[in-house]
Structure 1
Amino acid sequence: MQFLAYILVYPLLWIISILPFPLLYLVSDGLYILMYHIIGYRKKVVKSNLKLVFPGKSEQEISVITKKFYSHLSDMFLEMTKTLTISEKELNKRFKIKNPEEFKRLESMNKSIILMFGHYASWEWSVVLQNYINFNGLAVYKKLANKYFDNLVRRMRSKFNTTLISTKETISTINENESNNIKSIMAFLSDQSPRLTKEVYWGQFMGIDIPCFTGAERLAKKLDLTTAFLKVTKVKRGHYEAEIKTLAEDSTAYNDYKLTDMFLREVEKQIYEAPEYYFWTHKRWKYKDRKPQ
């Protein structure tokens, strides 16, 4: 069944991926109409999240952000598919690094780097970062249940020499690299909701108490790694700009959870600047009422 689903869907993905960008965005406009106006894909979740974090905004303001978000979401889905066949030259034009010299400065410290970023603007096209670094590029991802689509995702995200490691492989891979003195830049999407346990750290995100992933911070402190944040901005349709912001050159000098909080503040800044580019379809605040008293 997994293979059947794959062979039915893959040809469509490949056809989409070879479309020229003007035609790709015409398809995206149609996808927006389908998702927002016809199917209403997770519209209740999106509006609920927006009303929760922006209690002062009117219904009309929430509606405007929602429509802009679905338009961006449609673009992002198709841009992700475009990664199948996009050339390195084309992607370099569309995803630019604002301050590549900061990568070089951090690498000169001869310490591996934890690079944290959120589900904002375009995280898929950040695979081009390997072109700006000398260190080994690693990206942590959650393995897909369908092994054929999982292999496809791995192939797409690693085509520009970034190595994908699943969440279960993360600690062993990083420990092995450090033991062998292989310096790496390790990318973590750290704004997701972890499983709710008694030991989970509760921080604030957009003014609301939520359980937080702390794996990136714990690795940085345990192995004495540099911690940085990647701020991705959507410049215009199909074009993004990223800036690396150093959070801690010496991660061990910070109290527990401080780096996680600093990361969340950076993501918040992005959301307040342009909320339509955040990934509102996920239930980031689903445990907000379950914090132990």
Structure 2
Amino acid sequence: MQGLVFWLVYPILWLISILPFRLFYIVSDLIFILVYHIIGYRRKTVRQNLELIFPEKSKEEISKIQKKFYSHMCDMFLEMIKSISISEKELKRRFTFTNLEYLRELEKMDKSIIVMCGHYASYEWMNALQLYDLKFRSFGIYKRIKNKYFDDLVKRIRGRFDGTLITTYKATEAIRYNQERGILGNYAMIADQSPKLSRAKHWIHFMGIRVPVFEGSERLARKLDMNVIYLHVEKTGRGFYNATLKPITTDAPNEPEHYITKRFIELLENQIKSKPEFYLWTHKRWKHRNEPIPNRAEIID
């Protein structure tokens, strides 16, 4: 069944991916009408999230942010599909970096690097990092897709630009394996996921609401002595993004406990407050806010 679904859907995805960008974004506009106005995909969740985080904003302001968000979400979904066929030249033109020299300076320290990312702007095209003349190999830590055929497709897309995906469950093992063999890398991690309550060991204020938080990136950095940076991505136009690499630490083992996590949250919050329409409001990031905090858990803010 998984194979049938994939082979029914994949030809459509491929045809969309080869469209010229002018037509490509017309398709995105049509999908926006379907998703927002007709299906109403997670509109209640998005509205609740925005009203929770921005209680000072009027209904009109919330509605404006909501519509802009759905338009951006549809663009980003289509851009993920575009990755099937986009050329290296076009990807580098559309996803640029302001300070790659900082990454090259970090590489001179001969320590692997964790690139902490949020669900903000474009995390689909950040594999453009792999197209530059960098010393380290690029890896992405991701959650495996249940449909193995689509999971393989995502791996092939990343592999087009010499990137390698590692599942979240094997991240520590894989990084340690690479380091033992002298393979240093830039490891990109989406770090603002919401953990299950059964695994929620740490709680923090995120956008003014106390929620559980993963500290996987910090634990890896401290345990394996890795440099840590934040990928600050801004949407500069439709289909265009600019990223700045912001330092978090070059001495993870000696930083105060929770510093890396708190600094990441602070940097992400600043972006969300500035332009909230580019954050992924459909995911239920604050769903555990009213749950009792387990006795074993630690409040880190």
Q: Give the TM-score, by structure 1 length.
A: 0.98
2:289 alignment partner in structure 1:
288
After superposition, give the CA deviation of every residue in 1:89-145 in whole Å (9 maximum; x if it has no partner): 000000001111011111011111111010111000001101232201110000011
By how many angstroms is 1:233 displaced? 0.4
After superposition, the Cα gap between the structure-2 partners of 1:199 and 1:268, relative to the gap in structure 1 and judged at 3 Å, is closer
After superposition, give the CA deviation of every residue in 1:193-214 in whole Å (9 maximum; x if it has no partner): 0121376110111011111110
Q: How many residue pairs align between the two structures?
A: 293
2:299 alignment partner in structure 1:
none
1:44 alignment partner in structure 2:
44
2:202 alignment partner in structure 1:
201
2:192 alignment partner in structure 1:
191
Judge conservation of contact 1:65–1:275 (CA < 8 Å) in 2. yes
For 2:52 and 2:81, locate their aligned partners in 1 and report how far apart those are by CA, in whole Å. Answer: 31
After superposition, the Cα gap between the structure-2 partners of 1:226 and 1:4, relative to the gap in structure 1 and judged at 3 Å, is same
For 2:160 and 2:49, locate their aligned partners in 1 and report how far apart those are by CA, in whole Å. Answer: 34
One-letter identity of the residue aligned with 2:217 = A
Structure 1, 127-136 or 58-67: larger mean CA deviation:
127-136
Give the secondary-structure state (helix, strand or coil) at the position aligned to 1:286. Answer: coil
For 1:174 and 1:115, locate their aligned partners in 2 and report how far apart those are by CA, in whole Å. Answer: 14
Judge conservation of contact 1:232–1:240 (CA < 8 Å) in 2. yes
2:88 alignment partner in structure 1:
88
1:227 alignment partner in structure 2:
228
After superposition, the Cα gap between the structure-2 partners of 1:106 and 1:6, relative to the gap in structure 1 and judged at 3 Å, is same
Q: Give the TM-score, by structure 2 length.
A: 0.95
For 2:83 and 2:194, locate their aligned partners in 1 and report how far apart those are by CA, in whole Å. Answer: 27
Report 1:157-196 matches (<5 A).
157-196=158-197
By how many angstroms is 1:158 displaced? 2.5
C-alpha RMSD of matched pairs (Å): 1.0
Judge conservation of contact 1:202–1:291 (CA < 8 Å) in 2. no
1:109 alignment partner in structure 2:
109
Judge conservation of contact 1:127–1:158 (CA < 8 Å) in 2. no
Give the secondary-structure state (helix, strand or coil) at the position aligned to 2:203. Answer: strand
1:241 alignment partner in structure 2:
242
1:250 alignment partner in structure 2:
251
One-letter identity of the residue aligned with 1:192 = Q
1:32 alignment partner in structure 2:
32
Report 1:10-25 matches (<5 A).
10-25=10-25
Amino-acid identity (%): 51
For 1:260 and 1:230, locate their aligned partners in 2 and report how far apart those are by CA, in whole Å. Answer: 14
1:55 alignment partner in structure 2:
55
Judge conservation of contact 2:200–2:212 (CA < 8 Å) in 1. no
Give the secondary-structure state (helix, strand or coil) at the position aligned to 1:121. Answer: coil
After superposition, give the CA deviation of every residue in 1:172-229 in whole Å (9 maximum; x if it has no partner): 1001011112111111000010121376110111011111110110010011111110
2:298 alignment partner in structure 1:
none
By how many angstroms is 1:23 displaced? 0.1
For 1:222 and 1:167, locate their aligned partners in 2 and report how far apart those are by CA, in whole Å. Answer: 16
By how many angstroms is 1:157 displaced? 2.2
One-letter identity of the residue aligned with 1:56 = E
After superposition, the Cα gap between the structure-2 partners of 1:198 and 1:244, relative to the gap in structure 1 and judged at 3 Å, is closer
1:154 alignment partner in structure 2:
155
By how many angstroms is 1:291 displaced? 4.0
For 1:180 and 1:194, locate their aligned partners in 2 and report how far apart those are by CA, in whole Å. Answer: 32
Give the secondary-structure state (helix, strand or coil) at the position aligned to 1:124. Answer: coil
One-letter identity of the residue aligned with 1:7 = W
Unaligned runs of 5+ in 2: 295-301
Judge conservation of contact 1:209–1:291 (CA < 8 Å) in 2. no
Give the secondary-structure state (helix, strand or coil) at the position aligned to 1:168. Answer: helix
Give the secondary-structure state (helix, strand or coil) at the position aligned to 1:197. Answer: helix
Judge conservation of contact 1:124–1:157 (CA < 8 Å) in 2. no
Judge conservation of contact 2:88–2:131 (CA < 8 Å) in 1. no
